[in-house]
Amino acid sequence: MSVKAPIVPLDQLEQVWRVLRTNEHTGSLLLAIIAIAVIYVGYNILYGTDIPYIEGIPEIPGAVPIFGHLLKLGEDHATTCEKWWRQYKHSIFQIKLGNTRAVVVNSFDDCKRMLLGNQNAVIDRPKLYTFHGVISSTQGFTIGSSPWDESCKKKRKAAGTALGRPALRNYYPMFDLESYCVLRDISKDSGNGQIEVDVRPYIQRFALNTTLTLCYGIRMDAVYDDLLREILHVGSAISLLRSASENYQDYVPALRYFPNNVKNARSKELRDRRDAYLDLLLNKVREMIKNGTDKPCISAAILKDEETKLTGVEVSSICLSLVSGGFETIPGTLTSCIGSLCTPEGQIWQDRAYEDIKRHYPDMRDAWTSCIKEEKIPYINAIVKEAGRYYTVSAMSLPRKTVTEVNWDGAVIPAETMILINAQAGNHDLDHFGPDGAKFNPERWLSSLEPPTEAKIDGLGHLSFGTGSRACSGQFIASRLLYSALVRLLASYKIVASEEFPPNTDYVDYNQFKTALVAIPREFKVRLIPRDSAMTAECMDAAELRTREHYKE
Ligand code: HEM
């Protein structure tokens, strides 16, 4: 091994030191250097950001040392930013999240322009200390949290193939079985309408089983299955650790080094629990392959080497992305949607939806079998779109990062800048959606009521799935799940809010955990009034027969 000679020879250094020692100003010179260094480091700790102030983009006043705007943002970043947009009259502004400068975009048109007009520039996602460094250190990043690189490109492509429109036909048996199970158990547990029920657990199982089937060919039949509840519990707890309002240590590095760092310990515990169930699921698939009982699914295809381009970590990461992509977003959207439909005002929407189902499928049995294959009922489509818009379950979307400069009306947003899309603000933008934009109203998506006819949308309807280069990969499957569950539920029951536990239908306050990445609706209960008990029983019997052998272990 060769050792390089020092750049400055030692004897020369000694000479310099001797001169300095004999010079009478050396003491004050050294002090001045140290003072400047301390001021420089101190200033950086207090005020420094990864990206310097961006000329031409207004900054919200009131940033404080170290934390920037973090404390002012409070728990609910989307709502605070929505308020700042109105207060300071700038739809796009910059803020400081501790040491990270972020550009926040609020109005519908600006969100659309940022995501669609700069598709290539905003294709990246930021890496965060807690989520990327601690939680994701074993299974790889989910697609939604991966920076844009070769591996992410491959994973996004594989997910796109598994979740794209043409693939939906492969999942008809699964849609049939899972939406049947929602109806089966809700009917049973509500004593066919006698007992008030909380619909969320049924919808959670519906969403989770769908992605588990897709990824592992495995499902759980009981609503309170231990593994099902463990996956939901751990997943929700991790989602809590992903939002900026919950994780100051991501933006204020000094907090990471505090002794007994609770966040790190909690993250590691959750990571271990998540690893345990992901391994268990994958091992189950291995065993099924050995016994020849495996079902067609993403992981079996890869384990059997039918698809060789992905590594083991990439397969885990895809499965994890799909499981975590759907298990909270679908229940958040569908549960809250039922909350709005079951109010006194919502009864008219339910009746009109019921009439529209019958108009398209005079024989209800056809409605049950068609709703998994096609989305043809305009009133139901309108409800699905309004549920997505009004209850923006991922209020701040998923953060983006610029890979190249973005020129915004002359202001230059540099590469590597965090971009936050305030989907909640854009989705309730009165300038775009009209004066009733802050209200739940499915009929805004219809051009006529006699008969219900879908209004033509110019491109993007709402911002809840994002758009552009990193838009939600699961949006087609999500729409079909919402549609099929709504058709079967509304065809079978009139849903009426409990008087004792009514839903909260405010588009901000319906969410019980403001700090989580995805909204968790406050609990409420409903009463189910059968529409046509004999017909519902017949549809359910037929569904039971059709799906009896699906995904049986
Ligand atoms: C109502 C349901 C859903 C909502 C509201 C939703 C919302 C979102 C949003 C806002 C994004 C970020 C988009 C952007 O940056 O522009 C996203 C990304 C993603 N979603 Fe969904 N999602 C839903 C359902 C699903 C489902 C069911 C799956 C999978 C089965 C899924 C898989 C993904 C994936 C893989 C990404 C990451 C895309 C990327 O970063 O390239 N989502 N979703």
pLDDT of residue 13: 65
Testing ligand 1's pocket by substitution, the residue of 161, 465, 486 carrying the most ligand atoms inside 8 A of its CB is 465
Does residue 159 have its Cβ closer than 6 Å to ligand 1?
yes
397 C-alpha to center of ligand 1: Å? 9
Residue 499 inside a domain? The answer is: yes
Q: What is the CATH number of the domain that holds 213?
A: 1.10.630.10
Does residue 478 have its Cβ closer than 6 Å to ligand 1?
yes
Strand 418-421 with 100-105, pairing: parallel
The Cα 481–Cα 499 span in angstroms is 29
Q: Give the confidence band of 517 by pLDDT, cuts at 50, 70, 90.
A: confident
Task: Answer yes or no: is pLDDT of 16 > 70.
Answer: no
The count of domains in the chain is: 1
Phi, psi of 95 (to 5 degrees): -135, 165
Residue 284 inside a domain? The answer is: yes
What confidence tens digit (pLDDT) does each residue in 101-152 have? 999 999 999 999 999 999 999 999 999 887 777 676 666 788 998 999 998 9
Crossing angle for the helix pair 475-492 and 346-360, nearest 10 degrees?
Answer: 100
223 C-alpha to center of ligand 1: Å? 24
Phi, psi of 50 (to 5 degrees): -55, -40
Binding-site residue numbers are 472
Phi, psi of 292 (to 5 degrees): 70, 20
Residue 42 inside a domain? The answer is: no
Residue 348 inside a domain? The answer is: yes
The Cα 536–Cα 534 span in angstroms is 6
pTM (2 decimals)?
Answer: 0.91
325 C-alpha to center of ligand 1: Å? 6
Top pLDDT among 526 and 240 is at 526
pLDDT of residue 41: 78
Contact of 353 with 347, CB cutoff 8 Å: no
Residue 459 inside a domain? The answer is: yes
Residue 32 inside a domain? The answer is: no
* DSSP per-residue letters across 268-302: HHHHHHHHHHHHHHHHHHHHHHHHT-PPS-HHHHH
The rounded mean pLDDT for the chain is 90
Residue range 381-385: mean pLDDT, rounded:
98
Domain ranges, residue 530: 143-547
Binding-site residue numbers for heme are 472
Does residue 323 have its Cβ closer than 6 Å to ligand 1?
no
Residue 327 inside a domain? The answer is: yes
Does residue 321 have its Cβ closer than 6 Å to ligand 1?
yes
Residue 137 inside a domain? The answer is: no
What confidence tens digit (pLDDT) does each residue in 165-192 have? 998 998 999 999 999 999 999 999 998 8
What confidence tens digit (pLDDT) does each residue in 54-86 have? 999 999 999 999 999 999 999 999 999 999 999
Give buried/exposed letters for 380-396 (b at 16+ CB in 10 A, else e): bbbbbbbbbbbbbbbbb
544 C-alpha to center of ligand 1: Å? 31
Contact of 141 with 128, CB cutoff 8 Å: no
Residue range 189-196: mean pLDDT, rounded:
90
